Amino acid sequence: MGSQSPIVPPAVIGILGGGQLGRMLGSAARAMGYRVAVLDPDPDCPAAAVADRVVIGSYDDVGAALRLADASDVVTYELEHVAAGVVGAIEALEPRIPVRPGRGPLLVTQDRLAERRFVEGAGAAVAPWREVRSAADARAAAETLGLPLRVKLPIGGYDGRGQIRVVTAADLEGAWGRLGQPPGTPLLAERELDFEAELSVVVARAADGEEAVFPIARNVHDAGILVESVAPAPVSPVVAERAAAIGRSLAAAMDLCGTLTAELFLVRDGSLVVNELAPRVHNSGHWTIDGAATSQFEQHIRAICGLGLGSTAALAPTAVVNILGRGVRRDARLLGVPEALADPATHLHLYDKRRVFERRKMGHLTTMGTDVDEALARARAALARLAWADDDTQEDDR
């Protein structure tokens, strides 16, 4: 990847994707004096409020992506659902318009089968797995790997979507139908692990190989959606260092410039197993906005622009709880904000999504404490004071 000339303000940072991660990346960039351009199919996407320009287009629209690149000095992405061809088309413009991270990390992390092969090739562990294309393949995988299994679509799916849990051999027969795929489609079958904790490591890496690792976070998911994180994770220093080493080695193996998040399982025998990679800022790193010397979002901007990386030191034990939608699709209006923020250690981050519905990620609360258990208890208490207004109460409550 080599060295790069620094990209300094007021240069334009182009972001492929305008969701909440794009919004927070854009906010960090603007605070540093950069201009922001965003590509998204929704003109009212969360990042629109912080962008100087919004290019309307789908994540596979090469023409729209080239228009974004034409208005940018560097391009990055906030999600893995961007078509690799889009990133490749912008990369063809280099060195005029660099893309950081580039197409390589995207290809590795878009396809769960490719991701498993990459992680193993880089010397890290994953859950025992097989590629399966038929019920016979799946039965053979179940015999080899044992039950229960997680059967997943290789491409697409997030927040628990695109996967099923298989408990009995009989469940394997209908796996393709349950995932909405025709027989013969390759799927990932992997052993469900009995783990002690879910951890994640966020590592930033610059073009010259400089790297900085944030303290490890401990996460809790509910039906595939991240609901809580605390950092620094209450694990031994040995486990924390091994997790950080995994993050650093995978970022180096990708030759990544930007931010990589590795979600890990701490298995009961003390081993660490990679569950998922994201070559971007991540929900489990949101604690860094208020709880670290440098947020993951500023760190990503510094990395892709060739600036020195910031300190990753934790300022205090920090907890994050996600604010999820509830009920039917309707206009979003959050009740209970004054009550939630009565705790002076609690901070509210809403993503400016106009519509709320069941389990949609709408924002998060961050709380600091003397230890992560206290911080988490206070964050949960603040969350309990929040509720989404029903349609028929919105006028009366204004």
Contacts 24+ apart (CB under 8 A), 376-379: 376/228, 376/230, 376/319, 376/321, 378/319, 378/343, 378/345, 378/346, 379/228, 379/319, 379/320, 379/321, 379/346
| Backbone dihedral region for residue 89 (phi beyond 0: left; psi -120 to 50: alpha; all else: beta) | alpha
Residue 391: what pLDDT?
A: 65
Percent of the chain scoring above 90 in pLDDT: 89
Closest listed residue to residue 132, CA positions, set 150, 120, 119 = 150
Residue 5: what pLDDT?
A: 87
Question: Average pLDDT for residues 59-83, to the nearest whole number?
Answer: 96
From residue 98, give the alpha-carbon distance in Å to each of 61, 81, 308, 345: 18, 19, 18, 40
Write down the mean pLDDT value for the chain. Answer: 94
Query: Looking at the predicted structure, is the pLDDT value of residue 398 above 60?
Result: no
Which residues, 6+ apart, have CB-to-CB distance to 241 below 8 Å?
A: none
Buried residues in 294-305 as b, exposed as e (16+ CB within 10 A): bbbbbbbbbbbb
Alpha helices in the chain (DSSP H): 20-31, 62-70, 84-91, 103-110, 112-121, 135-145, 175-178, 237-254, 288-291, 296-304, 337-340, 372-384, 394-397
Query: Looking at the predicted structure, is the pLDDT value of residue 145 above 50?
Result: yes
CA pair distance 303, 313, nearest whole angstrom: 17
Residue 309 is classified by DSSP as P
CATH fold of 12-99 reads: Rossmann fold (3.40.50)
Question: Average pLDDT for residues 381-394, to the nearest whole number?
Answer: 84
Question: Average pLDDT for residues 55-65, to the nearest whole number?
Answer: 97
Residue 160: what pLDDT?
A: 62
Residue 173: what pLDDT?
A: 81
Query: Looking at the predicted structure, is the pLDDT value of residue 395 above 70?
Result: no
Q: How far is CA 143 from the centre of its chain?
A: 33
The pair of structure tokens assigned to 300 is 């990503």
CATH architecture of 128-191: 2-Layer Sandwich (3.30)
Question: Average pLDDT for residues 12-41, to the nearest whole number?
Answer: 98
pLDDT tens digit sequence for 188-200: 999 999 999 999 9
Q: Given pLDDT bands bounded at 50, 70 and 90, which one contains residue 141?
A: very high
Residue 202: what pLDDT?
A: 98
Query: Looking at the predicted structure, is the pLDDT value of residue 216 above 80?
Result: yes
DSSP state string for 87-107: HHHHHTTTTSS-BSS-HHHHH
- Residue whose structure tokens are 């349609």: 391
Query: Looking at the predicted structure, is the pLDDT value of residue 394 above 70?
Result: no
**SS3 call for 231:** strand
Q: Which of 60-64, 79-83, 243-247, 350-354 has the weakest average pLDDT?
A: 79-83
CA pair distance 297, 285, nearest whole angstrom: 9
Residue 170: what pLDDT?
A: 83
Is the Cβ–Cβ distance between 88 and 103 less than 8 Å?
Answer: yes
Q: Given pLDDT bands bounded at 50, 70 and 90, which one contains residue 278?
A: very high
Is the Cβ–Cβ distance between 97 and 74 less than 8 Å?
Answer: yes
Q: How far is CA 51 from the centre of its chain?
A: 21
Which residue type, as a one-letter code, is found at position 77? Y
Q: Given pLDDT bands bounded at 50, 70 and 90, which one contains residue 325?
A: very high
Percent of the chain scoring above 70 in pLDDT: 96
Residue 339, CA atoms < 13 Å, CB-side half-sphere: 11
CATH fold of 195-394 reads: D-amino Acid Aminotransferase; Chain A, domain 1 (3.30.470)
Q: How far is CA 25 from the centre of its chain?
A: 12
Query: Looking at the predicted structure, is the pLDDT value of residue 309 above 90?
Result: yes
Query: Looking at the predicted structure, is the pLDDT value of residue 55 above 90?
Result: yes
Q: What is the pTM of this model?
A: 0.94
Domain boundaries, the chain: 12-99, 128-191, 195-394
- Residue whose structure tokens are 């193993």: 120
The pair of structure tokens assigned to 259 is 């931010």
Residue 2: what pLDDT?
A: 43
CA pair distance 328, 341, nearest whole angstrom: 26
pLDDT tens digit sequence for 352-386: 999 999 999 999 999 999 999 999 999 999 999 99
